[in-house]
Amino acid sequence: MFKKSGKEIFAAAFLMATSAIGPGFLTQTTVFTEKLLYNFGFVIVVSIIIDVVAQVTIWRTLTFSNLKAQQLGNILLPGLGNLLAICVAFGGLVFNIGNFAGAGMGINAMLDIPNQLGIVITASIVFYLFYSKNSLKKLDYVIRILGILMLVLITIMIFKAKVDFAKLIGFSILPEVFDIKSTITLIGGTVGGYITFAGAQRLMDAGIVGEEYSKEVVKSASIGIVFTGVLRYFLFIGTLSIVLTGISIDANNPTASVFMATFGSIGKVLFGLMIWAASITSVIGATYTSIAFLKDFHPVFEQKKKFFALIFVLISVLAILVFGKPVNLLLFAGYINGFILPIGLAIVLLSIRNKNIFSGFKYPVLLQFVAWVILVVLAGFAVYSLF
């Protein structure tokens, strides 16, 4: 059991983390750092705490029952799960549009070729990964390698950063300003929409289900969030260091400005590599999870899952080639997905009371209470941000 679960918990954690660490992740972090400066550290810390509780709750519940969130939703209230599945798939589609925009930017920065061609090249690679033999193993391998690459690139920024670390720590605990919209956007970009379900789905596909795997599931969920949070905090420090020097950040490509200011002449290429790696791994996660949510609508989605994955990717590619400003779209993607998380979390928490499904489910009452508090706060943030 340990050998099997040990491999799969890291695969699930990396799938979740690299799904979150997309071009939207990079753009959001850069934009909000410029806006909030040292105060943004507190937003990151708060989002990590909320993300861990929400994700552990969802993953533990789904893997214990071996039921998808939409299945639990339909048991709770007929049609509710189907609505959630449609919202998740739509959210994944919006994210994928932004992901392909980022992929085009990345290849353009690395090879100086048109964004549109870079998008087509990335889509071709994704098609190969999904249609090749042993596709799941290849997907896991690509995600793992690119995830480590992104961590290395951003870690290097820490050694070049020049910030007041005492002030950084202080403001990360007690800020002068707290911004609600940036918080809901970060949470939406980390565990909102399809993202928090990606790793749970990967675990269930691998047979990591039932109470006997509870510790492994908690470990996997926590690793995914911590990896994502650390990488975001490192990027925040690197970006803050550049912003404090007074260097102007290009509103059309904010993260590129940071990389070029940090690394000099090679910064453009490194930015291209970073955002392309972030984009293609997020495309894989969004496509994998969105198709998994659609399978319950009709057996054809399971029988022809690779075909529908192709269609899903093609719609995303055509949409970004025809519509949208990439930066605005990337921010919007994280924002709207923040509204999906409260619904999914509510379904999970209410379903725990169903003893026909969750007899013997050992989840601390205190954590359930904390999850309910988080649910109310997230719902309040979501409503507040509309005005």
pLDDT digits over 23-73, tens only?
878 888 999 999 999 999 999 999 898 889 889 999 999 999 999 888 999
Q: What is the pLDDT of residue 62?
A: 92
Higher pLDDT residue, 340 or 353?
Answer: 353
What percentage of the chain exceeds 70 in pLDDT? Answer: 92
Residue 2 contacts by C-beta under 8 Å, 6 or more apart in sequence?
none
Q: What is the pLDDT of residue 56?
A: 92
Residue 373 contacts by C-beta under 8 Å, 6 or more apart in sequence?
none
Amino acid, res. 143: I
The confidence band for 335, taking pLDDT boundaries of 50, 70 and 90, is low
Asked if 328 and 177 touch (Cβ cutoff 8 Å), the reply is no
Instruction: Tell me how crowded residue 295 is: count the other CB atoms within 10 A of its CB.
Output: 17
The CA distance from 367 to 352, in Å, is: 12
Q: What pLDDT digit, counting tens, does each position of 57-116 carry?
A: 999 999 999 998 889 999 999 988 888 888 788 778 877 888 888 888 899 989 889 888
Helix or strand holding residue 41 (H, E): helix 40-65
Q: What is the pLDDT of residue 221?
A: 92
Q: What pLDDT digit, counting tens, does each position of 280-295 carry?
A: 888 888 888 888 887 7
Q: Which three-class secondary structure state does DSSP give residue 177?
A: coil
The CA distance from 332 to 28, in Å, is: 10
Asked if 319 and 94 touch (Cβ cutoff 8 Å), the reply is no
Q: What is the mean pLDDT of residues 368-380?
A: 83
Higher pLDDT residue, 137 or 199?
Answer: 199
Instruction: Tell me how crowded residue 52 is: count the other CB atoms within 10 A of its CB.
Output: 18
Please report the beta strands in the chain, taking only residues with DSSP state E, as ranges in sequence order: none
Q: What is the pLDDT of residue 218?
A: 92
Q: What pLDDT digit, counting tens, does each position of 129-158 carry?
A: 887 777 767 777 888 888 888 888 888 888
Joined tokens for residue 370: 């904390």
The CA distance from 75 to 68, in Å, is: 11
Instruction: Tell me how crowded residue 338 is: count the other CB atoms within 10 A of its CB.
Output: 25
Closest to 203 in 3D by CA, of 363, 53, 4 = 4
Q: What is the pLDDT of residue 63?
A: 92
Q: Helix (H) and strand (E) counts for the chain?
A: 19, 0
Closest to 17 in 3D by CA, of 135, 126, 130, 150 = 150
Q: What is the DSSP letter of 210?
A: S
Q: Quick one: residue 133, left, alpha or beta (phi over 0 = left, psi -120 to 50 = alpha)?
A: beta
The CA distance from 368 to 36, in Å, is: 32
The confidence band for 327, taking pLDDT boundaries of 50, 70 and 90, is low
Q: What is the mean pLDDT of residues 329-339?
A: 60
Residue 215 contacts by C-beta under 8 Å, 6 or more apart in sequence?
none
Q: Please determine, for residue 385, whether its predicted confidence score (pLDDT) is greater than 50.
A: yes
Joined tokens for residue 258: 């940071």
The CA distance from 110 to 310, in Å, is: 26
> Cα–chain-centroid distance for residue 293?
16
Question: Average pLDDT of the chain?
Answer: 84
Give the global pTM. 0.85
Q: What is the mean pLDDT of residues 356-371?
A: 85
Largest CA distance in the chain: 62
Q: Please determine, for residue 2, whether its predicted confidence score (pLDDT) is greater than 80.
A: no
The confidence band for 329, taking pLDDT boundaries of 50, 70 and 90, is low
The CA distance from 384 to 342, in Å, is: 14
Closest to 187 in 3D by CA, of 52, 10, 369 = 52
Instruction: Tell me how crowded residue 311 is: count the other CB atoms within 10 A of its CB.
Output: 11
Lowest-confidence pick of 56-60, 330-334, 365-369: 330-334
